[in-house]
């Protein structure tokens, strides 16, 4: 009985000794890990704020890009700090890095479409083919840009609809930006008969934009014969406006074409289908639709 009690006491002392050794051994590791974690978090936080402030001062760089880069830098540094903390406890960091690489590869394969949108979003924000407020058009979508994000771009269509588009659909495709350049050209094509005087037609078309302050003086408006068709002469009026005045000016000019040419004595030819329909409607022995024949 005495020998058994002695063995218990000896084992207890041995256990306390081992625990004490472990505490002494890992106490410095715990303190070192806490110090690394604290200063690592502080440094990453300060570097993240500094990088975002520095990138925000770069002219032409979108605020979304600045935030994305600063957050990426912050998380990357925190990952390094965590690996350093684990190294304080004797964990093999090489295996951790390899495991993180494998996990990252698996996530990348699973989120291939999402990562493609992220890459496209970064390229759109860096190269800036369009900005917020620009009117753009691609083969698949058109509208006014309202927000450019890392994953998607938000647009407002011409009929007032909201549309969210993945960035991958806006990258590697031709984009027409109607707002990027300050001026735009408008070509107004008018068909007149061969019997009309071209100089009179040109003078009448020029008068449409002569007094319009929205039409630029340089390049100056011009008229020319663009095409000779079977039944008419195609005369083109060409002028330039600012991008903001393009639509309003073009609508006003088109609206004034017929009365202006009529005042100048120019008659616009009747379309072949309309002329044929009018001929058949009023052919001898027939009466226009909706008109009853008069009784004698």
Give the CA count within 13 Å in the CB-facing half-sphere of 23: 6
What is the pLDDT of the chain when averaged over all its residues? 78
- The C-alpha atoms of residue 295 and residue 192 are separated, in whole angstroms, by 41
- The C-alpha atoms of residue 63 and residue 253 are separated, in whole angstroms, by 41
Q: Which residue has the tokens 């707002």?
A: 179
**Which positions ≥6 away from 210 have C-beta within 8 Å?**
221
Lowest mean pLDDT among 146-160, 200-214, 266-280: 266-280
- Could you tell me the CA-to-CA distances from 213 to 93, 209, 245, 276 in Å, in that order? 72, 8, 10, 41
Q: Which domains does the chain have, with CATH numbers?
A: 9-110 (1.10.287.1260), 129-177 (2.30.30.60), 183-275 (3.30.70.100)
pLDDT at 171: 87
pLDDT at 222: 94
**Which positions ≥6 away from 216 have C-beta within 8 Å?**
183, 239, 240, 241, 242
211 confidence band (pLDDT: 50, 70, 90): confident
For range 7-22, the mean pLDDT: 62
Tokens of 264: 């100048």
pLDDT at 291: 35
**Which positions ≥6 away from 188 have C-beta within 8 Å?**
205, 236, 237, 238, 250, 253, 254, 257
pLDDT > 90 in the chain, percent: 34
pLDDT in tens, 74-120: 877 887 888 777 776 666 666 666 666 776 666 565 555 677 888 88
- The C-alpha atoms of residue 144 and residue 103 are separated, in whole angstroms, by 39
pLDDT in tens, 226-260: 999 888 999 999 999 999 899 999 999 999 999 99
277 confidence band (pLDDT: 50, 70, 90): very low
Counts of helices then strands in the chain (DSSP H, E): 7, 8
pTM of the complete model: 0.57
Q: Is the pLDDT of residue 274 over 70?
A: no
Lowest mean pLDDT among 27-31, 52-56, 178-182, 222-226: 27-31
- Could you tell me the CA-to-CA distances from 253 to 61, 144, 219, 229 in Å, in that order? 39, 25, 18, 24
For range 279-295, the mean pLDDT: 38
Q: What per-residue string of b and e applies to 115-142 under the rule 16 or more CB within 10 Å gives b?
A: eebbebbbebbeeeebeeebbbeeeebe
pLDDT at 201: 94
Lowest mean pLDDT among 26-30, 134-138, 216-220, 286-290: 286-290
**Which positions ≥6 away from 124 have C-beta within 8 Å?**
130, 148, 153, 167, 170, 171
Q: Is the pLDDT of residue 208 over 70?
A: yes
Please state the separation of Cα 175 from the chain's center in Å: 9
Longest pairwise C-alpha distance within the chain: 148
User: Which residue, among 253, 181, 177, 260, has the nearest Cα to 215 in the 3D structure?
Assistant: 253
């Amino acid at each position: 009985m005495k020998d058994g009690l002695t063995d218990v006491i000896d084992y207890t002392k041995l256990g306390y000794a081992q625990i004490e050794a472990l505490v002494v051994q890992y106490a410095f590791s715990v303190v070192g890990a806490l110090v690394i974690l604290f200063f690592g978090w502080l440094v990453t936080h300060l570097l993240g704020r500094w990088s975002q402030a520095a990138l925000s001062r770069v002219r032409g760089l979108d605020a979304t890009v600045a935030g994305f880069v600063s957050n990426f830098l912050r998380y990357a540094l925190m990952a390094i700090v965590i690996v350093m903390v684990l190294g304080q406890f004797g964990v093999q960091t090489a295996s951790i890095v390899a495991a993180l690489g494998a996990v990252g590869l698996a996530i990348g394969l699973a989120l291939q479409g999402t990562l493609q949108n992220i890459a496209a979003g970064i390229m759109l924000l860096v190269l800036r083919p369009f900005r917020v407020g620009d009117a753009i058009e691609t083969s698949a979508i058109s509208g006014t840009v309202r927000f450019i994000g890392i994953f998607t771009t938000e647009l407002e269509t011409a009929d007032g609809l909201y549309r969210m588009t993945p960035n991958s659909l806006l990258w590697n495709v031709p984009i027409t930006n109607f707002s990027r350049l300050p001026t735009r050209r408008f070509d107004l094509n008018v068909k007149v008969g061969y019997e009309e005087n071209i100089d009179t037609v040109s003078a009448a078309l020029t008068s449409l934009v002569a007094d319009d302050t929205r039409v630029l003086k340089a390049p100056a408006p011009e008229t020319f014969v663009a095409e000779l068709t079977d039944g008419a002469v195609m005369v083109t009026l060409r002028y330039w406006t600012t991008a903001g005045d393009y639509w309003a000016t073009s609508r006003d000019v088109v609206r004034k074409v017929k009365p202006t040419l009529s005042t100048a004595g120019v008659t616009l030819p009747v379309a072949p289908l309309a002329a044929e329909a009018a001929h058949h409607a009023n052919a001898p022995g027939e009466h226009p639709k909706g008109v009853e024949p008069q009784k004698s």
